[in-house]
Amino acid sequence: MGKPSFKDVFHNARVTLLGNAMLLELENVNKTFSRSGHPIAAVQNFSYCIEPSQFVAVCGPSGCGKTTLLLICGGLLRPETGTVALYGHDLYSLSPEERAAIRSAHIGFVFQQFHLVPYLNVVDNVLAASLGLRLEHAMEQKQMRQRAIELVERFGLSDRAEHLPTELSTGQRQRVALARAMLNRPKILLADEPTGNLDAENRDVVWEHLRKFAVDDRSVLLVTHDAAAAARADKVVHMEAGQRLNTIS
């Protein structure tokens, strides 16, 4: 049997995918920005594989390229060279529409600056993640709303369910962004400093949810500059000046 097309992968989003394939595989990825005519090598010759049910932390100092790497992994920033493959399919060889569909179904993203929709309340912000799935049936839509409400509760935000992002603290907004990224049960959750604005209690709650998420065919890739937090992951990838150093299991 040949390799399934991305269309098949997308339509089978809710079933176990492609047994042995690596969940996410980066090969020789490079991304250079230019500032005032000077090149900034944000990610250099980066190769790495993420298997199902792994919880991986990328750790490194500010400016070393963590966010750039995560955006590349999420299909949001095309590298100059190298490939990023989800279940063996190169994300950047897809059309923008296909890539958007794959991202909606398989990839959850927590942005460092959250990017919540300012005019939607907490539950609707979480629910917004399901728009890309184009759910047609009222029953599916109802179930998705119920899941959004449960996630809001799970992250301790029930009493803020109808508040707008401007009415929330930074840590509360961060938790809304996490709930939104988990809504579609993506195969990979990419989280940029997901506990950076949280107090110790909420940090532990979020960490626990992330860990529970990385089971079976799902994985988590988070970035942080907090080495102590990163040490709690299954694997730690150290990054410096755009390059991958060692990986500690």
Ligand X SMILES: Nc1ncnc2c1ncn2[C@@H]1O[C@H](COP(=O)(O)OP(=O)(O)OP(=O)(O)O)[C@@H](O)[C@H]1O
Pick the binder of ligand X from 18, 26, 66, 191 (CB under 6 A): 66
Contact flags string 77-116 toward ligand X, x per CB under 6 A: -----------------------------------x----
Contact flags string 110-149 toward ligand X, x per CB under 6 A: --x-------------------------------------
Q: Which stretch binds ligand X (CB under 6 A): 62-70, 101-109, 143-151, 228-236?
A: 62-70
Q: In the range 60-99, which residues lie near Mg ion by CB under 5 A? A: 66-67
Beta strands in 126-213 (DSSP E): 188-192
- Phi and psi, residue 55, nearest 5°: -115, 105
Q: Which stretch binds ligand X (CB under 6 A): 56-64, 81-89, 100-108, 228-236?
A: 56-64
Q: Whose Cβ is closer to ligand X: residue 44's or residue 53's?
A: 44
Look up residue 180 and give its two tokens: 């939104």
The continuous run of DSSP H or E covering 17 comes out as none
Q: Any contact of residue 14 with ligand X (CB under 6 A)?
A: no
Q: For strands 219-224 and 55-59, give the pairing.
A: parallel
Q: Any contact of residue 33 with ligand X (CB under 6 A)?
A: yes
Pick the binder of ligand X from 14, 35, 38, 137 (CB under 6 A): 35
CA dihedral (69, 74, 80, 85) in degrees, to 10, reads: 110
∠ CA 60-190-234, nearest 5°, is 65
Cβ atoms within 10 Å of 135's Cβ, excluding its own: 14
- Is 139 exposed, middle or buried, given 0-12, 13-18 or 19+ CB atoms closer than 10 A? exposed
Rg (CA), the chain: 18
Residue nearest to Mg ion (CB): 67
For residue 63, the partner it binds in ligand X, Mg ion, none, with Cβ less than 5 to 8 A by kind, is: ligand X
Q: Which residues bind ligand X (CB under 6 A)?
A: 33, 35, 40, 42, 60, 62-68, 112, 225
